[in-house]
Amino acid sequence: MNKTDALIIGAGPTGLFTAHQLKLIGLDCEIVDNLDKIGGQCIELYPDKPIYDIPAVPECTGEELTNNLISQLKPFDIKFHLSERVEKVKKEDTNWLVKTSSGNTFLTPNVIIAGGVGSFEPRKFAPKECEKYENKSLFYSVKDKKIFKGKTVSIFGGGDSALDWAIELSKDCKINLIHRRDEFRGAQATVDKMQELVKSGKINLFTKYQMANAQGDQKLESIDIKHDNNEIKNLKSDYVLGFFGLIMQLGPIANWGLNLNKKTIEVDTEKFETNQKGIYAVGDICNYPGKLKLILSGFHEGALAARACFKLARPNEKYRFEFTTTSSNLLKRLGKKE
Amino acid sequence: MAKITYVTHENEKHTIEVQNGLTVMEGAVQNDIPGIDADCGGGMACATCHVYVKEDWFNKLPKKEDGEDDMLDMAFEPKTNSRLSCQIIVSDEIDGLEVNIPSKQA
């Protein structure tokens, strides 16, 4: 059981700056994120795309913004729990008992949801039949490449993940690479390499095809792929890999008794608290009159939610507003003063 | 202003007057048309505002810009007439446009 003053769900820019604000005012916090890395949408969706509307930062990429936020957290000791999804949030006296997918538990008076549009999950194949083989013969990521040795693997997708795995696995597997169009969005060098392997017969390439069906009793035996002109081909396959990127799903958050509006959570604009005392929502996932889905708004919302946390975490103390330029308390926490 | 018709997967038709300069996605979201999620808010980063555009209109619309097809690779059941509705800007020229919403966005 981890005890902390505040638990932040989501390690995107809003979650990171909220952690900064909590630590600055003297509260502890820990961060949980379903992704295996820090940065949220900035790192998953647009690491290389420049952002132009962060105040005082004329231009920076999603990756640069994330790295700057991480270095702003350097003075503080913050525990990150990555590749974990928060599954359950339950009231226990004045605290919230939080459980994650890896079985970690937290006891905290404050839960701050900085979850963007929910947690990232792999995008799946459209045909229903595919579900039956999921995590047995059909995967959306590779955990152990040894299982594919000597087998026929059908790989779907046109980005770097699909191409990299097609190239890597072609060394000791029979590879079908299937993509919905002729153009690939992977790095040019990777596309060239793949085309070479197609020429030398190491990879069978099928473009303008998509998954149509999957067959096999217990184990997958073959798949049907459908061309844009509706022609169907049957491919014998021991394994299928799909790389269609990630999609954001609200996930278990929907079951925590919060006031939801579509995929967002209703909050007040003083504490950014939800209808549940001690549960806050900040950043893209929160909603209130006039809400803007901007990173700068998330920073503001996190700063206010952090102050609200103080009351519940330190009921017998009074929060006093201070500036980092002058407060020796804050400067000490920042490691700028003994 | 342009009249845009959104046809849901259940074949319900919603015809809405959308202001010039907005996107077809914004027209849907502001009017609570079901089936267009637009998770990323128009950043061409999520493919959850995916629509199908019938051939005659598909060829009349301004062409896809770089990146839209890359994103459509991720969409649920993309077809040759797939577009991201956040990339279709409303103008008088597209008055009468009809778009079909897929069975789901993910």
Domains of chain A: 2-121+247-333 (3.50.50.60), 124-244 (3.50.50.60)
Nearest CB to B80; choose among A46, A157, A228? A228
B70 vs A185: CB contact, 8 Å cut-off? yes
CATH topology of domain B2-100: Ubiquitin-like (UB roll) (3.10.20)
Give the pLDDT mean for A61-75. Answer: 97
Domains in chain B: boundaries = 2-100
Nearest CB to A180; choose among B39, B41, B73? B73
Instruction: Give CA B16 to chain center in angstroms.
Output: 13
Query: What percent of chain B is predicted at pLDDT more than 70?
Result: 100
What confidence category does residue B12 fall into, taking pLDDT thresholds of 50, 70 and 90? Answer: very high
Tell me which residues of chain A, numbers 177 to 216, contact chain B at a CB-CB cutoff of 8 Å: 179-181, 183, 185, 210
pTM summary value: 0.76
pLDDT of residue B30: 93
- 3-state class (DSSP) for residue A44: helix
CA pair distance A218, A259, nearest whole angstrom: 42
pLDDT of residue A271: 98
What confidence category does residue B87 fall into, taking pLDDT thresholds of 50, 70 and 90? Answer: very high
- pLDDT tens per residue across span B68-84: 999 999 999 999 999 99
pLDDT of residue A218: 85
DSSP assignment of B24-73 equals HHHHHHHTT-TT---TTSSSSSS--SEEEE-HHHHHHSPPPPTTHHHHHT
- pLDDT tens per residue across span A292-327: 999 999 999 999 999 999 999 999 999 999 999 999
- pLDDT tens per residue across span A166-176: 999 999 999 99
For residues A104 and A297, the answer to whether their CB atoms sit within 8 Å is no
pLDDT of residue A162: 96
- Cβ-based contacts under 8 A for chains A and B: 50
Give the pLDDT mean for B3-13. Answer: 96
Contacts of B78 in chain A (CB under 8 A): 180, 210
Q: Which of A206-210, A252-256, B101-105 has the highest mean pLDDT?
A: A206-210
Q: Would the pLDDT of A55 be above 90?
A: yes
B77 vs A159: CB contact, 8 Å cut-off? no
What confidence category does residue A137 fall into, taking pLDDT thresholds of 50, 70 and 90? Answer: very high
- pLDDT tens per residue across span A76-108: 999 999 999 999 999 999 999 999 999 999 999
Q: Quote the radius of gyration of chain B (alpha carbons, Å).
A: 12
* Averaged confidence pLDDT in chain A: 95
Tell me which residues of chain A, numbers 270 to 309, contact chain B at a CB-CB cutoff of 8 Å: 284, 293
CA pair distance A192, B49, nearest whole angstrom: 32
What confidence category does residue B43 fall into, taking pLDDT thresholds of 50, 70 and 90? Answer: confident
pLDDT of residue A44: 84
B40 vs A228: CB contact, 8 Å cut-off? no
- 3-state class (DSSP) for residue A210: strand
CA pair distance A229, A180, nearest whole angstrom: 12
Give the pLDDT mean for A210-221. Answer: 94
Q: Which of B37, B52, B73, B83 to mutate to test the interface with A (most CBs of A within 10 A)?
A: B73
Contacts of A249 in chain B (CB under 8 A): 106
Query: What percent of chain A is predicted at pLDDT more than 90?
Result: 89
pLDDT of residue B66: 84
Which residues are CB-neighbours of A231 under 8 A, at least 6 positions away?
Answer: none
Tell me which residues of chain A, numbers 49 to 108, contact chain B at a CB-CB cutoff of 8 Å: none
What's the gap in Å between the CA of B70 and the closest CA on chain A? 6
What's the gap in Å between the CA of A37 and the closest CA on chain B? 18
Give the pLDDT mean for B49-56. Answer: 94
**Cross-strand pairs, A179:** A207
Nearest CB to A159; choose among B48, B73, B79? B73
Q: Would the pLDDT of A47 be above 90?
A: no
What's the gap in Å between the CA of A4 and the closest CA on chain B? 31
- pLDDT tens per residue across span A8-35: 999 999 999 999 999 999 999 999 999 9
For residues A316 and A284, the answer to whether their CB atoms sit within 8 Å is no
Give the pLDDT mean for A333-338. Answer: 92
Q: Would the pLDDT of A45 be above 80?
A: no
ipTM for the predicted complex comes to: 0.84
B39 vs A263: CB contact, 8 Å cut-off? yes
pLDDT of residue A81: 97
Which among A45, A19, A49, A40 is positioned nearest to A31, based on CA atoms?
A19
CA pair distance A301, A198, nearest whole angstrom: 52
Contacts of A284 in chain B (CB under 8 A): 41
Give the residue with greater pLDDT, B43 vs A211.
A211
What's the gap in Å between the CA of B65 and the closest CA on chain A? 14
A123 vs B74: CB contact, 8 Å cut-off? yes
Number of H helices, E strands in chain A: 7, 24
The beta-strand segments (E) located in A104-254 are: 105-108, 110-113, 119-122, 138-139, 152-156, 174-179, 203-207, 209-215, 222-227, 232-236, 239-242, 246-249
CA pair distance B33, B47, nearest whole angstrom: 17
Give the pLDDT mean for A205-216. Answer: 96
Residues belonging to chain B: 106
